[in-house]
């Protein structure tokens, strides 16, 4: 069985018409700057990592992990999603699939586990000690099933991610006495992965609830307070407790995809060689394209990315090149395409849906 990766929102996270993908880039970096050639008439195909294991097949170590016995989470309550996380974070692929597959699924599974926990504890967070044990146990379970052993680093996960952090409301009953529960369930009970990225119905309901519980005991609060972000985590856990695990996972992944597709995850290294060979008037096309191809090859090593992320990356790099006095369209000159922005380009560019 081949492992197929799919994402929510074809060009949806920024509401780009399917027949105007090229216009998206040119709008960002001006009509006279460079943009890679795109064929809007061709529907993106799913990326097929041929070496990935079947989710239904034991991956590596069949022995049971030695757990702390001190974690209060019931991992069997989300067993299928624990297995999905292990597959999505498979040892070899995890660093490359981190921002678009592995870490979003890791986060979603933890939210589902916390939601299930609140059903019998009445609490939407763990204390720091319990969080440490649970995160450690979760990592051991995933590693036993073939996941990368450095997920905590790859996904920047800390025990604090399972606590209330700075959010003042963690009791499920108190939460429901403050927020409009029916509004959240109506907006987020079922999320259209395309429309949500544009209309943000569920996201706005989550934010509204987070603001309300963040204001508990306060007269006013800064708009971009980290307290609101911490409370959004509490809202996600509550929502996961009200939906069945499968529905909760679908909603959480759809919301994460809206966030993922908004930015370019690649880090652009110094482009001195490109500007040297391609800046101002290009005297040696071969030298310019060789420098550009070498630069892009370093970008490819960083991460697999989706089609929409590739669009953002192409636009960002185009603006950087323009600021570095590379005025000619070297995307066209050197035949640089969207697929060249990621390691999986030799197969297909990852779809954003």
- At 225 the pLDDT is 77
Q: Name the burial class of residue 160, with classes exposed (0-12), middle (13-18) and buried (19+) by CB atoms within 10 angstroms of its CB.
A: middle
Beta bridge partners of residue 123, listed in sequence order: 171
Instruction: Place 21 in a pLDDT band, splitting at 50, 70 and 90.
Output: very low
Distance of CA 164 to the CA centre of its chain: 22
Q: Name the burial class of residue 66, with classes exposed (0-12), middle (13-18) and buried (19+) by CB atoms within 10 angstroms of its CB.
A: exposed
In angstroms, the CA 108 to CA 56 distance is 20
CA distances from 179 to 217, 222, 329 (A): 14, 20, 52
In angstroms, the CA 214 to CA 175 distance is 11
- At 242 the pLDDT is 98
In angstroms, the CA 142 to CA 113 distance is 14
Contacts of 303 (CB under 8 A, 6+ apart): 95, 96, 97, 98, 99, 100, 265, 266, 342, 343
At 122, list the tokens: 């009445």
In angstroms, the CA 154 to CA 283 distance is 43
- Render pLDDT for 212-263 as a digit per residue (tens, 0 to 9): 999 987 767 766 679 999 999 999 999 999 999 999 999 999 999 998 888 8
Q: What string of DSSP letters covers 277-335? A: HHSSS-S-HHHHHHHHHHHHHHHHTT---BHHHHHHHHHHHHHHHHHTT--S-HHHHTT
Least confident of 15-19, 107-111, 205-209, 213-217: 15-19
In angstroms, the CA 58 to CA 63 distance is 11
- Render pLDDT for 249-284 as a digit per residue (tens, 0 to 9): 999 999 999 988 888 888 999 999 999 999 888 889
CA distances from 110 to 31, 158, 183, 229, 237 (A): 44, 12, 24, 17, 9
- Render pLDDT for 285-294 as a digit per residue (tens, 0 to 9): 999 999 999 9
Instruction: Place 298 in a pLDDT band, splitting at 50, 70 and 90.
Output: confident
Could you give the dihedral angle defined by the CA atoms of residues 248, 250, 252 and 257, in that order, rounded to the nearest 10 degrees?
180
pLDDT: which is higher, 298 or 22: 298
Of the chain, the percentage scoring pLDDT greater than 70 comes to 78
């Amino acid at each position: 069985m081949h492992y197929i990766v799919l994402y929510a929102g074809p060009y949806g996270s920024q509401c780009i018409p399917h027949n105007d993908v090229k216009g998206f880039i040119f709008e960002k970096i001006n009509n006279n700057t460079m943009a890679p050639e795109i064929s809007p008439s061709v529907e993106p195909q799913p990326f097929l990592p041929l070496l990935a294991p079947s989710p239904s097949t034991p991956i590596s170590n069949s022995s049971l992990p030695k757990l702390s016995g001190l974690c209060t989470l019931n991992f069997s309550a989300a067993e299928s999603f624990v297995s999905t996380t292990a597959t999505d974070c498979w040892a070899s692929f995890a660093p490359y699939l981190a921002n678009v597959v592995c870490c979003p699924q890791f986060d979603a599974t933890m939210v589902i586990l916390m939601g299930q926990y609140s059903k019998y504890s009445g609490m939407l967070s763990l204390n720091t000690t319990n969080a440490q044990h649970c995160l450690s146990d979760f990592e051991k379970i995933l590693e036993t099933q073939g996941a990368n052993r450095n997920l905590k680093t790859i996904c920047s996960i800390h025990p604090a991610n399972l606590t209330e952090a700075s959010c003042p409301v963690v009791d499920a009953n108190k939460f429901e006495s403050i927020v409009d529960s029916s509004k959240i369930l109506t907006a987020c009970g079922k999320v259209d992965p395309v429309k949500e990225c544009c209309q943000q119905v569920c996201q706005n309901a989550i934010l509204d609830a987070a603001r309300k519980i963040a204001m508990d005991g306060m007269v006013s609060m800064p708009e971009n307070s980290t307290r609101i972000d911490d409370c959004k985590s509490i809202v996600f856990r509550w929502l996961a407790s009200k939906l069945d695990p499968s529905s909760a996972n679908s909603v959480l992944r759809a919301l994460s995809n809206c966030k993922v597709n908004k930015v370019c995850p690649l880090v652009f290294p110094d482009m001195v060689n490109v500007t040297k060979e391609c800046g101002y008037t290009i005297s040696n096309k071969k030298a310019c394209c060789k420098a550009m191809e070498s630069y892009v090859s370093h970008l490819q090593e960083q991460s697999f990315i989706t089609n929409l992320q590739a669009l953002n990356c192409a636009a960002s790099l185009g603006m950087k090149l323009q600021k570095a006095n590379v005025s000619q369209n070297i995307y066209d000159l050197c035949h640089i395409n969207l697929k060249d922005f990621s390691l999986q380009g030799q197969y297909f560019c990852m779809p954003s849906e």
